[in-house]
Structure 1
């Protein structure tokens, strides 16, 4: 049991954390849970809230008054509209003096309204690459107009925030280009619990029940099974190179059947479903290399979990994960959305598999400074400066 120890700022800050839920398995949810539990351990009033049709830890859930279909951009999802009056009443009852919003959708609007009505600060965490989503995930004739409207909306939404937290250098520069003043921006890199995700959980026999040969090299992907994750790059790369390795895809999502069909007849690609807790920790530690081909990761939580578990990584040169990769030392980068370059880097890493153990050790060492403890302390310090 983790011992509770009050943080010096716990008597000053009372935080409500606003988040839209598009999927119950995501890096954003994991991030919310970890920060909530850390805040609770440190003695803070820290209340994650959302609108959703059912209960979901650790959120206080407001039942939606309506739902908007968003599956044309993120298949199988809806945006749930909350009752703003009930949210404001809840914040007032709990004497909240700080609002954190990590969403520009319905709960983001609720955050803006609540902040203005209660006259308390509101900060934004830039989690979603809205520009990428609206440009690349809808092929309708009106998609360019939707993108233009969405980006204008996001800019106005972020203008209402007292601070904007960004996860990577790229997105920091993007905010500057969008006209936000540097003094309003704060870096908020991903944090990982390196005690939970650790090479000590390695157990190669774990894979036998999934039909995976543990004597072979194992390449791993963990995440939501949707096209925005660019999982097709992995399948096409393996099909082209035909290496004698096993590939395990952990997760589920609306496009799982699409990818299962793409991998049909490829006996070395395995879909393991959703893994959590000890099973997920063991899966990471019992693989050899981690693949994250997505071009839209603002956070890349799974990449940090893999690195903490002692895996070198192959990630795209666009988005958050690339900030943690030193080419050839703890992983490799490939040109985003370029299958040929992905195949080239995949072939390179396969040719030098004897280096993977040393790269894995370097990967773990390189992310240790990004501890959840350091992330949390820096975050609450920035919040407290607004009071």
Structure 2
């Protein structure tokens, strides 16, 4: 099996999609598959020596600077594609590189699958370009029409796309590394690194500092909490994004800390050192950070929307609140503050749930789906065939 993966985000990018795709490629390699990743060039050097990654010139995307707008060289891509001779093409983006991957696969009769990672239509109002939504959906239908499978991360996302008329949908869920994300750290060692008193009640958010993540709701919830709770709490936001600079200046010196990107062991320790994970985003196709918090024994207060509502068991591993309902979020945080036993019970339940979300089991199902696509690809080129033209 030889897989060509086209994506607009890949490590060293710091986001759930990039990390998931890296894990998937490493899994494929362990299974004996050959992989070629087509991804944007980054300013940083590529340190993923074990992965075969073909990089293409890119510039920051104006509306989403953390992502790159790729300007691929079609001749370079064509040469690499023909030399590699993939048996299956997986496009993880509908734009730029994904579009070229789509065209190459269909031109050469190679089975094509796609994965859907972002509800772009729900982001449009935050950038005041909602008027292009009908055009976007027409394009998305056109782009995916040649795909044998369209992989989505959650049942909610599957239902959403099915209602839009998409076919061939299949759930490719997400797992969590429960050895890396686990409870029980020494708060007195972790929190002072960020200027936080370990005796405080710590409320954590991890994700982009951007409008589409409903950061305004999070800050409104903090402002609406009872004075006594707010005085005894510290609120940590880990992540970067278009609102980071403005908000970090606005709240400088108070009990709200904007940390920027936090990665690796530092991030895992931060999850485990926190008392509540507050995540009001309404637009998640899955919500990797929610599962990471649960694996770390941190109860979640999240939106009853998107993929988050497929992960959190209301009243058992955390609380789900109606999107934008500030009073409901405040009530949930207050309950967890006032009832340490409830917090501990939810922490245990969340950890137990996360232990059942094995990456290997999830990837094994996706690998079997690949095999199904290849097995049903009548009359298409195999990885040993010659690609010409």
TM-score (norm 1): 0.87
Residue of structure 1 aligned with 2:104, choices 90, 114, 136: 114
Residue of structure 2 aligned with 1:312, choices 280, 288, 299: 299
Displacement of 1:264 after TM fit? 4.3
* 2:195 aligned with 1:195: no
Higher deviation after alignment, 272-281 or 324-333:
272-281
> What residue number does 1:41 align with?
30
Displacement of 1:253 after TM fit? 2.4
Residue of structure 2 aligned with 1:171, choices 119, 140, 157: 157
Residue of structure 1 aligned with 2:16, choices 19, 27, 34: 27
Displacement of 1:154 after TM fit? 1.1
Task: Kindly provide the CA deviation profile for residues 284-305 of structure 1, in whole angstroms up to 9, marking residues without a partner as x.
Answer: 1221211211111112111111
Displacement of 1:351 after TM fit? 3.3
- Asked if the contact 2:38/2:54 (under 8 Å) is kept, the reply is yes
Shift of the 173–35 alpha-carbon distance from structure 1 to 2, 3 Å rule, reads same
> What residue number does 2:86 align with?
96
Pairs aligned (count): 365
1:293-372 counterparts in 2 under 5 A? 293-372=280-359
Displacement of 1:53 after TM fit? 4.5
Distance of 2:33 and 2:275 partners within structure 1 = 39
Task: Kindly provide the CA deviation profile for residues 95-128 of structure 1, in whole angstroms up to 9, marking residues without a partner as x.
Answer: 3111111211112201211211232111111101
- Asked if the contact 1:250/1:273 (under 8 Å) is kept, the reply is yes
Residue of structure 1 aligned with 2:238, choices 227, 246, 250: 250
Distance of 1:33 and 1:57 partners within structure 2 = 12
Displacement of 1:45 after TM fit? 1.4
Displacement of 1:322 after TM fit? 1.5
Distance of 2:14 and 2:173 partners within structure 1 = 20
Shift of the 385–25 alpha-carbon distance from structure 1 to 2, 3 Å rule, reads same
Distance of 2:157 and 2:365 partners within structure 1 = 19
> What residue number does 1:71 align with?
62
Task: Kindly provide the CA deviation profile for residues 302-352 of structure 1, in whole angstroms up to 9, marking residues without a partner as x.
Answer: 111111111111111111121111111101111123434333433333333
> What residue number does 1:5 align with?
none
- Asked if the contact 1:233/1:342 (under 8 Å) is kept, the reply is no
Residue of structure 1 aligned with 2:126, choices 128, 137, 141: 137
Shift of the 76–193 alpha-carbon distance from structure 1 to 2, 3 Å rule, reads closer
Distance of 1:106 and 1:83 partners within structure 2 = 11
> What residue number does 2:386 align with?
none
Q: Any idea what SS the aligned residue of 1:327 has?
A: coil
Q: Runs in 1 of length 4+ with deviation above 6 angstroms? A: none
Shift of the 42–200 alpha-carbon distance from structure 1 to 2, 3 Å rule, reads farther
- Asked if the contact 2:36/2:84 (under 8 Å) is kept, the reply is no
Shift of the 75–255 alpha-carbon distance from structure 1 to 2, 3 Å rule, reads farther
1:143-162 counterparts in 2 under 5 A? 143-162=129-148
Residue of structure 2 aligned with 1:260, choices 248, 258, 270: 248
Instruction: Please tell me the root mean square deviation across aligned C-alpha atoms, in Å.
Output: 2.2
Task: Kindly provide the CA deviation profile for residues 16-41 of structure 1, in whole angstroms up to 9, marking residues without a partner as x.
Answer: 22111399221111112222222333
Displacement of 1:262 after TM fit? 4.3
- Asked if the contact 1:130/1:151 (under 8 Å) is kept, the reply is no
Displacement of 1:381 after TM fit? 0.4
Task: Kindly provide the CA deviation profile for residues 271-294 of structure 1, in whole angstroms up to 9, marking residues without a partner as x.
Answer: 223222221221112212112111
TM-score (norm 2): 0.87
Structure 1 unpaired stretches of 5+: 1-12
Q: Any idea what SS the aligned residue of 2:5 has?
A: strand
Shift of the 200–40 alpha-carbon distance from structure 1 to 2, 3 Å rule, reads farther
